[in-house]
Amino acid sequence: MDKMSHGPLEASQSAWEQHPKNSLNWPERKKWRIVLVIATVILLVGLNATSVTTPGLVIAEHFHVADTFFPHSFWPVTVWNTGAAIGPMIGMPMLENFGIRRAYMVSLLYYFVGFRKLIIRVLKLLYLVFTAMVIPQALAQNFATLLVVRAIAGSVGGILQNVLEQVAPEIWATEKDRNLPITIYTFVYVSGVTLGPVLGAIVHDFSWRWVFYIQLIIYGAMLPIVLLTIKETRGPIILSRLAKTDSSLAKAANELPHPKLLSLIYGAITRPAHLLFTEPVVFFLTLWAAFCFGLVFIMTQSIPQVYHANYAFSDSASGLVQTSLWVGEAVGFAACLPQNAYYLRSAKRNKSDPGTPIPEARLPLSIPASFIGLAGGLFWYAWSSFPHVHWMVPTIGLAFVGFAIMVIITAVDLYIADAYMKYAGSAIAAVALGENLFAAWLPLAAKSMYTTLGFQWASSLLGFVAVGLTAAPVVLWWKGDVIRGKSKFIREAKRVA
């Protein structure tokens, strides 16, 4: 009798598992089309975050803001990243419940115009509004307006920068399939903010407002592609919608949880912070990744100082030097591919959970990358920053730093996504909080640090910090299984899986 009562439910669940509209069953072409479009938007969002750093002094002078005693010219980046730290704290966990397409499409419009009540059915009618996404930044008539608009942009931009990491597990069921998409995500995530100063260097000689006009043109051109390509990816959301017209799926849909809105909002706000401050894995990996991400922004302040003083580089030329970081990141992306393969092969030697890759197998490349690439690159950059040393020498050191940044953030992203599964959105939001807070506030001290300590010891201080933070992956490599075994969230995620 009990078996008979479960028959219809099992049949409904089986129908859903085999349904062609289940995102796990989509054709590979459709999955990659969505991933690549989202990746492109992540890259473009990053440009908006840092492109203002190259013309920062020009903007400050235009609005009569002085940098004499404090780097006020960096406030447009600080408020952007502060917004990006807060936005994912709420937005990413909400995606765990409400779905990707609705949140992503609404956020994409809100990112530009600041209105939350837009709905999907009117998106096509708002094409002109979308193309005006950066107009408030381009036409700001005072510094306060610019800061407010960029804080709003950053709050939603932070969600956009992290959404692909949650999309990948929704459309690919195995670690093997998810590895490349998440690696691509990390690459475009760091590439966008790294290349922002390069964009600023290319166009700001015309007018600092053209930094935003160029973005306006690019973002507007992307709108039709985004509208036509982005689809809902979260299985429960798709199932609920299909069940309204397909009775064979009704039983499976009825089994879905329906939590109250207030409890969802409360959990969305508190869970990332709870993970950050109670989970050692999340805390230390966030600290490590946040320092790396913050370095990209610190270099937007350090490079102009060093290359202007030592080599008389202009603001534009200094902005182009940032390309060296991106070259290192590109090499790091290539290096992550065999690292991903090594992780998958670790399944053969997993004695505690046979057939499942060992999470700590994500870390081997990141440990030498942290010691040699991050710390070593910073020391190289530090002690080659002299006028009598050719400018290419410290630039090579920056490329090593870029390599390490890519490898480390990729290791953290993949480790978090695999370990926390059901709570990946909240864990990602916690990491994003740390990354963006470091990126927002650390660079404010960069100019005074480099002025007070000198170019050599300022960069060396960062190198010593990098050496200390390398303890995080070393300890996880050594005792990661024990640490994970004590995590309530990881244990629950495994039970759900």
> Whole-angstrom Cα distance, residue 400 to residue 398?
5
Q: Which long-range contacts (C-beta less than 8 Å, at least 24 apart) are formed by 268-273?
A: 268/89, 268/90, 268/93, 268/94, 268/426, 269/89, 269/90, 271/93, 271/423, 271/426, 272/88, 272/89, 272/92, 272/93, 272/426, 272/427, 272/429, 272/430, 272/433, 273/89, 273/430, 273/433
How confident is the model over 56-78, as a mean pLDDT? 91
Angle, helix 100-113 to helix 75-98, in steps of 10 degrees: 160
The pLDDT assigned to 260 comes to: 61
- Greater confidence, 121 or 208? 208
Structure tokens belonging to residue 295? 């370095």
17 to 30, 132, 406: CA distances (angstroms):
18, 42, 36
> Whole-angstrom Cα distance, residue 57 to residue 66?
9
Report CA torsion sign: 172, 328, 74, 289: positive
Closest by CA to 343, choosing from 332, 358, 328, is 358
What percent of the chain shows pLDDT beyond 70?
A: 82
How large is the C-alpha radius of gyration of the chain? 23
Structure tokens belonging to residue 289? 């990744």
Distance of CA 178 to the CA centre of its chain: 16
> Whole-angstrom Cα distance, residue 358 to residue 355?
9
> Whole-angstrom Cα distance, residue 289 to residue 345?
25
Indicate the burial class of 312 (C-beta count within 10 angstroms; 0-12, 13-18, 19 or more).
exposed
244 to 241, 247, 251, 384: CA distances (angstroms):
6, 7, 11, 66
> Whole-angstrom Cα distance, residue 453 to residue 466?
18
Buried b (16+ CB within 10 A) or exposed e, 485-494: eebebbeebe
Closest by CA to 137, choosing from 114, 163, 161, 162, is 114
Contact 356, 434 (CB under 8 A): no
Structure tokens belonging to residue 180? 């490349």
> Whole-angstrom Cα distance, residue 48 to residue 149?
12
* pTM of the predicted model as reported, rounded to 2 decimal places: 0.87
How confident is the model over 191-205, as a mean pLDDT? 91
The 10s digit of each residue's pLDDT in 292-314 is: 999 999 999 999 999 999 999 99
The 10s digit of each residue's pLDDT in 410-440 is: 999 888 877 777 777 778 778 888 998 999 9
The pLDDT assigned to 407 comes to: 97
The pLDDT assigned to 259 comes to: 60
DSSP designation for 55: T
Structure tokens belonging to residue 443? 């660079």
33-37, 116-120, 179-183: lowest mean pLDDT where?
116-120
Closest by CA to 237, choosing from 421, 428, 102, is 102
Structure tokens belonging to residue 367? 């440990």
> Whole-angstrom Cα distance, residue 167 to residue 482?
29
The 10s digit of each residue's pLDDT in 431-471 is: 888 998 999 999 999 989 999 999 999 999 999 999 999 99
Structure tokens belonging to residue 306? 């060093």
Tell me the pLDDT band of 25, cut-offs 50, 70 and 90.
Answer: confident
> Whole-angstrom Cα distance, residue 271 to residue 262?
14
Residue 3's H or E segment, with its range, is: helix 2-17
> Whole-angstrom Cα distance, residue 446 to residue 70?
10
The pLDDT assigned to 33 comes to: 92
The 10s digit of each residue's pLDDT in 320-378 is: 999 999 999 999 999 999 999 999 999 988 887 788 888 899 999 999 999 999 999 99
